[in-house]
Amino acid sequence: MRVLVITNDSTVFLNKGIAAAKDMFGGRVTEVKNFCNRISNICDVSFGIISGRFGFVPGEYVVMPYSEITDTPQAYLELQEKKDYATSINIVSRPFDRVIVFVPKAMMAVLLDNNAFPRKVISVTDEVFKEHFKENGWSWYKRSGARIGKANADAIYKELKELVKEEEERLISDASV
């Protein structure tokens, strides 16, 4: 199973020069990176960041520190208008089986309003999106904390483990036919 994990940038830069996006940010991004490391033992994980300067960038994309941190609903909209991060996510996420998203409420609204997700989504997000997620057959977890929270991380890990098991059973069944 291939999973793309997406979050937005942080005001905490770990490097003063250029670095891979996944190595550039600390702060709340650290929780998401740790989660990626955890799930990497059960699935193929890629990581991407919605950057206030560059829009959506894969974790391996080299970036430099910048001052354009987006931290308000208006800033998320302006970044979408300038960099169209929703379309980039739509295109990049197509080969993945699941997209896991950890972004603020207003940024999630921008992503949903701009059809960023062609695949099934798992997200820790505001309750206002719960019905939308249910209608699409996506997984919704209530946000309580900086990005994920321990209980949500455990539940998503368990969900992914079940999905991987189902996929393996399907492949075995298909091979025996």
DSSP 103-137: --HHHHHHHHHTT--SSEEEEEE-GGGHHHHHHTT
Is 70 exceeded by the pLDDT of residue 76? yes
Residues 6+ positions from 86 with CB-CB distance below 8 Å: 80, 110, 111, 113, 114, 115, 116
pLDDT at 138 over 80: yes
**Phi, then psi, of 77 in degrees rounded to 5:** -65, -45
pLDDT of residue 177: 64
Mean pLDDT value across the chain: 93
pLDDT at res. 167: 86
In this model, does residue 98 exceed pLDDT 80? yes
Cβ atoms 17, 64 nearer than 8 A: yes
Q: What is the DSSP string of 27-91?
A: THHHHHHHHHHHHTTTSEEEEEEEETTTEEEETTSEE---S----SHHHHHHHHHHH-HHHHHHH
Predicted model pTM: 0.93
Domains of the chain (ranges, CATH numbers): 2-176 (3.40.50)
| Torsion of Cα atoms, 54 then 59 then 60 then 63, to 10° | 30
Of all residues in the chain, the percent with pLDDT exceeding 90 is: 82
- CA pair distance 12, 133, nearest whole angstrom: 31
Average pLDDT (6-13) is 92
Distances 118 to 2, 90, 123, 159 between C-alpha atoms, Å? 14, 6, 14, 20
- Are 126 and 8 in contact by the 8 Å Cβ rule? The answer is no
Distance CA 101, CA 157 (A): 14
Ranking 27-31, 50-54, 69-73, 144-148 by mean pLDDT, the lowest is 144-148
Region 148-176: mean pLDDT is 90
Under DSSP, the state recorded for 139 is E
Instruction: Please check the confidence at residue 171 and state whether its pLDDT lies above 90.
Output: no
Q: Which helix (H) or strand (E) holds 174?
A: helix 150-176
Rounded CA-CA distance 58/62 in Å is 9
Residues 94, 172: Cα–Cα separation, whole Å: 24
